[in-house]
Chain A
Amino acid sequence: MLSVEGLDVRLGGNHILRDVSLTVGDGDTVAVLGPSGSGKSTLLRAVAGLVPIESGSIRWDGRDVTTVPTHLRGFGLMFQGYALFPHMDVAGNVGFGLRMGGRSPAEVATLVGAALDWVGLAGFGDRSIGDLSGGEKQRVALARTLAPEPALVMLDEPLGALDRSLRERLLVETRSILRERGVTALVVTHDRDEAAALSHRLALMRDGSIVQSGTLDQILAEPADDWVREFLG
């Protein structure tokens, strides 16, 4: 279980996150929903250990990981622009985390094959990154994030860079992949429907603070203020 308590982050003099607290139960998916610039991505980067934290704590199953370096945290993060390694092929990308985890080449090959299967890209291993379509890139990034079976999976606008028709198809796919694998996930998005479809619970974020959290129905029934009502439309 992930529990974030009283997180404050300042970057270049700007107060990006203010006293953010949040929990994600095992096997749960929580979506952080908010307009662009509200600090959602920074929250993920802070949990991953990519930005320095001013105060607050990040715990996994009760263990404080706030000062653990990124590469030892064992969390997965799928970047908004995917951040695929341009000098490696699809298998190289998907197997990267497994190699870092010290798996043998044979294990890596097997697990890469399995991960590509989950995302419907069986046989794509030797493709080069430059030859992939937008949707294929998204799925490679998802497979790369899931392959090492991280304790927590974080997805930053997982469908943000895709066009409308593709989004709808991949939304269903991504959702079923996350559910089937029973992963604990934290998803960031600015799209209400996407958040509702992917997650069990929502956390609404504005100007670096979490305004309200709960299921979509709960929030719609009792919006905390006018901004929430308007934002959820």
Chain B
Amino acid sequence: MKTIRGGRLLVAAVPALFIGYFFLYPVARILTLGLSELGVGSDGVQARLFQIGWFTMWQAVLSTVLTLLVAAPMTWAVAQYDFRGRRLATALVTVPFVLPTVVVGSAFVALGWRDSVGAILAAHVFFNVAVVVRTVGALWSRLDPNLHDAGRVLGASEWKVFWTITLPLLRPAIAAAAAIVFLFTFTSFGVVLILGGFRFATLEVEIYRQAVTLFDLPLAAALAVVQLVGVTGALYGYSRYQERHTATWALRSEKDRPRPTGRARVLVGASVVGTLTALAIPIVVLVARSLQPGSYRALIRDDPVVGVPMASAGNSLLYAVLASLIAVTIGVMAAAVITGGKGRLSNWFDLTLMLPLGTSAVTIGFGFIVALDRPVDLRASFWLVPIAHALVAVPFVVRTTVPTLRSIPAEIREAARVLGASPLRVWREIDLPIMSRAALVGAGFAFVVSLGEFGATSFVARPNTATLPVMIFRLLSRPGAGSFAMAMALAVILAALTAAIVLWIDRAQFGEIGAF
């Protein structure tokens, strides 16, 4: 018994050190630096902080409200009705969500929509519609239809039923979706950096500018503190809301939905076709503008300033492989610790490993620059990029593997022990093979996260080993039609790569069903 506990502590030490040194310690350094700057800051600094914080806040709130409104018709259609192409429509609506932020930014630049709040809001809506359709749709399609029918029988009109019965029942899912969208848009970096121009900056963008362009690390740290407070506040508020509003009412299993008829048919068609068309426009225009003569060929030519643009694809793939390997190693070890017991260690682990997901990527990259000079100066290391990516990706690996490990009945492990397998051997013979597919899916997620990661990378990537998103940003920032077309072409390549891997993950997950 004692040796098992000792072994578990040893396994726990690796992810704990990883998250401790690469995340908790840098965040602590940012807090120290930022709080002292806030203390001595002049009135000018305070006013600037307030101005940027205020913009970050209201654009996030407005983006969230707009996303909820835009997503409503499509959510209603796929949750309530069955129609030809319903599954395809739900899959297509998810496409923008998996696109790297730099690609989304490029797509709206392709529309000629730059330097405006409108472009930022539109890009945020484009990116997040899927969150609402999936989260709210999942609950809506499982609401007991008898509740709706009872309302109608009692004399309420369709609208009245919606406002007084359906909407209140959907409130937990709407709150969850809104919380996620708010968090994404509050910490939005790539989109705002590309579309906001010089006039509009969120906290994330300003942290980047102060730290990377103006080298004012204390001010950047102060901004990061404001950012952390905002994110923590939002997460805390949401968890409080969830605590007070968890209700378990009658849900049905998701069974056959009716086919729409009459007026509903027209509305469903308009909702689905309208939403998908609107989402398709930026992507179609992006592809169209990349098709300038010679734009793709220019990607393999040596450029005096940025080098061979296509080389960034090689860098990205290498980083993605390394980041996936690190993330899977750390994530699987963490999952073993989390599922290995029910004690405080499990809970603490579960929570701490999720933190990098809630924190912004910019904070992670900035933290590396601020903190990783001791005990050895790692700040110029090649490994910072894959480690930063792995940090963001570990939660995905944990989330895919933990449920599979939990689904293994205790008896199966006991049977292996009775047949002579030592605790380590049980892990190797039972746990590892059973969760290998889930770990592979987690690795796929890590790969996608790494390919598209921009926030942390923009801090730690070295000029000669730029990733695809960094290269796209550089090309976009350069004047000239040639650079613009090259940026579009590279964005299309990144989007295609991402889409291919997401498709693979989707298929791998289908094979999972019915394992036990």
Give the size category of B's interface with A: 20 to 34
The interface residues of chain A lying within 8 Å CB-to-CB of B301 are: none
Q: B411 — which chain A residues lie within 8 A by C-beta?
A: 79, 81, 83
Question: Is A85's CB under 8 angstroms from B415's CB?
Answer: yes
B409 pairs with A83, CB closer than 8 A: yes
Q: Is the CB of B419 within 8 A of A148?
A: yes
Contact pick for A77, options B1, B412, B418, B434, CB 8 Å: B418
Cα-based distance from A74 to B421 in the complex (angstroms): 11
**Docked-complex contact A85 and B430, CB < 8 angstroms:** yes
Whether, in the assembled complex, B516 has its beta carbon less than 8 Å from a beta carbon of chain A, the answer is yes
Instruction: Say if the beta carbon of A181 comes within 8 Å of chain B.
Output: no
User: In the bound complex, how far is the Cα of B516 from the Cα of A97, in angstroms?
Assistant: 22
A50 within 8 A of B: yes
Cβ contact within 8 Å between A48 and B418: yes
Interface mask (A46-75 → B, CB under 8 Å = 1, otherwise 0):
001010100000000000000001111111
Residue of B nearest to A72 (CB): B420
A13 at the interface (CB under 8 A from B): no
User: What residues of chain A lie closer than 8 Å to B418, measured between beta carbons?
Assistant: 48, 50, 70-71, 73, 75-77
Task: Check B415–A79 contact: CB distance below 8 A.
Answer: yes
A96 within 8 A of B: yes
A101, CB-defined interface residue at 8 Å:
yes
A169 interface residue (CB < 8 Å to B): no
Answer yes or no: B257 CB below 8 A from chain A CBs.
no
Residue A87 is within 8 A (CB to CB) of chain B in the complex: yes
Flag whether B237 is at the interface (Cβ < 8 A).
Answer: no
Q: Which residues of A contact B422 (CB under 8 A)?
A: 69, 71
Task: Pick the contact of A50: B414, B420, B425, B516 (CB < 8 A).
Answer: B414
- Give the residue of A79, A83, A101 whose beta carbon is less than 8 angstroms from that of B420: A101
CB distance from B339 to the nearest CB of A (A): 17
Q: Are B421 and A77 in contact (CB under 8 A)?
A: no
Shortest distance between the CB of A52 and any CB in chain B (Å): 7
Taking CB atoms, residues of chain B closer than 8 Å to A69 are: 422
User: Total number of A-B contacts with CB less than 8 angstroms?
Assistant: 66
The answer, among B1, B414, B421, for a CB contact under 8 Å with A52, is B1
Does B417 interact with chain A (Cβ within 8 Å)? yes
Nearest residue (CB) in B for A130 is B514
Looking at chain B's contact residues, is the secondary structure mostly helix, strand, loop, or mixed?
A: helix
* Residues B47-67 near A (CB distance < 8 A): none
Is the C-beta of B433 less than 8 angstroms from some C-beta in chain A? yes
Does B416 sit at the interface, judged by CB under 8 A? yes
What per-residue 1/0 map shows which CB atoms of A149-176 lie under 8 Å from chain B? 0000000000000000000000000000
- Tell me the residues in window 418-452 of chain B with beta carbons closer than 8 Å to chain A beta carbons: 418-423, 425, 429-430, 433-434
**Per-residue B-contact encoding for A86-128, CB less than 8 Å = 1, 0 else:** 1100000000110011000000000000000000000000000
Check: A40 CB closer than 8 A to any chain B CB: no
User: Which residues of the other chain, A, contact B425 by a CB distance below 8 angstroms?
Assistant: 71, 100
Alpha-carbon distance A35/B433, docked complex (angstroms):
38
**B153 proximity list for chain A (CB < 8 A):** none
Chain A CB count within 10 A is highest, among B409, B418, B430, for: B418
Chain A contacts of B417 at CB under 8 A? 50, 70-71
Most buried by A among B1, B420, B421, B429: B420
**Contact between chains at B419 and A83 (CB < 8 Å):** no
- Cα separation A44 to B425 with both chains bound (whole Å): 23
Alpha-carbon separation in the docked complex, A87 to B413 (Å): 13
A87 touches B420 (CB 8 A): no
Q: Which residues of A contact B266 (CB under 8 A)?
A: none
Which of A45, A50, A73 has the most CB atoms of chain B within a 10 A radius of its CB? A50
B515 neighbours in A (Cβ, 8 Å): 86
The distance in angstroms between the C-alpha atoms of A100 and B425, with both chains bound, is 9
Scoring B411, B423, B425, B516 by chain A CB atoms within 10 A of each residue's CB, the highest score goes to B411
| B-binding residues in A (CB < 8 A) | 45, 48, 50, 52, 69-77, 79, 81, 83-87, 96-97, 100-101, 144, 148
Top 5 A-B pairs, shortest CB-CB distance:
A100-B420, A97-B419, A83-B411, A83-B415, A70-B417
With A79-B414, A83-B415 given, can you name 16 additional A-B contacts, CB distance below 8 Å? A45-B414, A48-B414, A50-B417, A50-B418, A52-B1, A69-B422, A73-B418, A79-B415, A81-B409, A83-B412, A83-B414, A96-B416, A96-B419, A96-B429, A97-B419, A100-B420
17 contacts between A and B (CB under 8 A): A48-B418, A50-B414, A70-B417, A71-B418, A73-B418, A76-B419, A79-B411, A79-B414, A81-B411, A83-B412, A83-B414, A83-B415, A86-B412, A86-B434, A87-B430, A96-B421, A148-B419
